[in-house]
Amino acid sequence: MDKRRIYLDHAATAPFHPEVTEAMLPYLGERFGNPSSIYSEGREARKAVEAARSQVADALGADPSEIFFTSGGTEADNLAVIGTARANRERGDHIVTTVIEHHAVLEPCHYLENEGFRATYLSVNSAGIVDPEELREAITPSTLLVSVMYANNEVGTVQPIEQISAICREAGVYLHTDAVQGVGALDVDVNRLGVDMLSVSAHKLYGPKGTGCLYVRKGTKLQSIILGGGQEKRIRSGTENVAGIVGFGAAMRLAVREWKQRSEHVRPLRDRLIDGILQGIPYTRLNGDRESRLPNNVNVLFDFIEGEAICLKLDFQGIAASTGSACSSESGEASHVLLALGIPLEEAHGSLRLTLGRENTTEDVDYVLEKLTPIIEELRQMSPLYPG
Ligand SMILES: Cc1ncc(COP(=O)(O)O)c(C=O)c1O
């Protein structure tokens, strides 16, 4: 077997950027202080956390006081949905979201429904895009929060957040966006987007796992969901993950500096992969929108076969790919996103997601195309449904 590995699952997680590792190393060693301690080890740690907060704020066009560090995207999403609902009960009991959100938003909505809140799950068109007019109609006087993801983790569809934020502002409703897949690939200036809350996760940005933040616009009423020592202005208790936060700050500094260049690097590779697959392999379709799409996302449906089988065979050839989101890969369930796009259950199992990153090259793409074609043919030959 070829020992060469080609990593094409950047939507699941991205490898560490060397500058991120370098920034973190002292905080995994001699700089071990607790940022809440008043002596010099503590003050050093506090300084590092606050420097990272400024880096994250700068990358989002926010004020450092609007950044709340969390254990990643999941916690940021949970805090935004549950924390806003609980703090604004007097404003209403209704949340508007979409059927293609990450489970980190959908599950808190289901949880709140059990607590007596109501939720509307907007559908999307066959390309995975939310209709802003439908969203406008879904907002009622009792709506307190709208949560629509910036970019989808499975099919890469980018939502019209600026249009959506204009509607929310007019209606006087808070808007949260899960930008976990958008940061580092798109412009994420919170004022341009017009959002009140925005979730970020460091490990999708060549940073460490278990770290991220929720941006919270000044004046937004939010209740804590983790109670304890009162860190992060009582919004998120728990001793800060100093090394992780430092790594996150470094990853955000790099992301803001490099996002255009990173996008320009992966976009032609993405298009080469999409065109190579669609033109070279019959019975294939692109999932998601061709235009309003993350620059690094390829998600293709292969008729008559299972995505899992393709992934295993690709892995054997040195290629890391996935069928969809990391969670749906584990449970083996069909992706709720593909089903929401109107793809029938039997066909949804035939999807393959390839997500590119800064270290991928044209040679990688050509290698994948070379290996993929015979793998698909071999698997199809085993399917009784394949017309041949
Ligand atoms: C869109 C989206 N939201 C939230 C998350 C969860 O982020 P984390 O892994 O940092 O908890 C992910 C990660 O897969 C994601 O892709």
Q: Find the 74 Cα to ligand 1 centroid distance in Å.
A: 6
Residue of 106, 181, 214 with the most ligand 1 atoms within 8 Å of its CB, for mutation: 181
With a 6 Å cutoff on the Cβ, whether 244 touches ligand 1 is no
Q: Find the 370 Cα to ligand 1 centroid distance in Å.
A: 31
Instruction: Using the structure block, give the residue that is written with the tokens 């560090």.
Output: 69
With a 6 Å cutoff on the Cβ, whether 212 touches ligand 1 is yes
The residue whose CA has the least distance to atom 16 of ligand 1 is 153
pLDDT at 4: 80
Q: Which atom of ligand 1 is nearest to the CA of 202?
A: 10
Q: Find the 105 Cα to ligand 1 centroid distance in Å.
A: 10
pLDDT at 3: 67
Q: Find the 201 Cα to ligand 1 centroid distance in Å.
A: 7
pLDDT at 332: 62
With a 6 Å cutoff on the Cβ, whether 353 touches ligand 1 is no
The residue whose CA has the least distance to atom 5 of ligand 1 is 73
Q: Which two tokens stand for residue 218?
A: 């000044």
Secondary structure of 21-32 as H, E, C letters: HHHHHHHHCCCC
Residue of 79, 81, 98, 102 with the most ligand 1 atoms within 8 Å of its CB, for mutation: 102
The domains of the chain, with CATH numbers, are 6-14+259-381 (3.90.1150.10), 18-255 (3.40.640.10)
With a 6 Å cutoff on the Cβ, whether 78 touches ligand 1 is no
pLDDT at 324: 73
Q: Which atom of ligand 1 is nearest to the CA of 149?
A: 1
Q: Which residues contact 248 (CB under 8 A, 6 or more apart)?
A: 52, 56, 69, 202, 205, 207, 208, 211, 212, 213
pLDDT at 388: 80
Judged by DSSP in three states, 200 sits in strand
Q: Which residues contact 85 (CB under 8 A, 6 or more apart)?
A: 95, 112, 117, 144, 145
pLDDT at 334: 86
Q: Considering only the C-alpha atoms of the chain, give the largest distance between any 2 of them, rounded to a whole number of Å.
A: 73
pLDDT at 346: 86
With a 6 Å cutoff on the Cβ, whether 73 touches ligand 1 is yes
pLDDT at 325: 58
Instruction: Using the structure block, give the residue that is written with the tokens 């940073």.
Output: 207
Q: Find the 374 Cα to ligand 1 centroid distance in Å.
A: 33
Q: Which two tokens stand for residue 232?
A: 């992060």
What is the rounded CA–CA span in Å between residue 236 and residue 47?
Answer: 18
With a 6 Å cutoff on the Cβ, whether 231 touches ligand 1 is no
With a 6 Å cutoff on the Cβ, whether 74 touches ligand 1 is yes
pLDDT at 144: 97
Q: How long, in residues, is the chain?
A: 388
Contact (CB, 8 A) for 274 and 225: no
With a 6 Å cutoff on the Cβ, whether 181 touches ligand 1 is yes
Sign of torsion over alpha carbons 281, 286, 290, 294: negative
Hey, which residues are catalytic here? 327
Q: Which two tokens stand for residue 24?
A: 């973190």
pLDDT at 89: 95
Q: Find the 133 Cα to ligand 1 centroid distance in Å.
A: 27
Strands, DSSP E only, in 41-173? 67-70, 94-98, 118-122, 143-147
pLDDT tens per residue across all 388 residues of the chain: 446 899 999 999 999 999 999 999 999 999 999 999 999 999 999 999 999 999 999 999 999 999 999 999 999 999 999 999 999 999 999 999 999 999 999 999 999 999 999 999 999 999 999 999 999 999 999 999 999 999 999 999 999 999 999 999 999 999 999 999 999 999 999 999 999 999 999 999 999 999 999 999 999 999 999 999 999 999 999 999 999 999 999 999 999 999 999 999 999 999 999 999 999 999 999 999 999 999 999 999 999 999 999 999 999 999 999 997 554 555 567 899 999 999 999 899 999 999 999 999 999 999 999 999 999 999 999 998 898 8
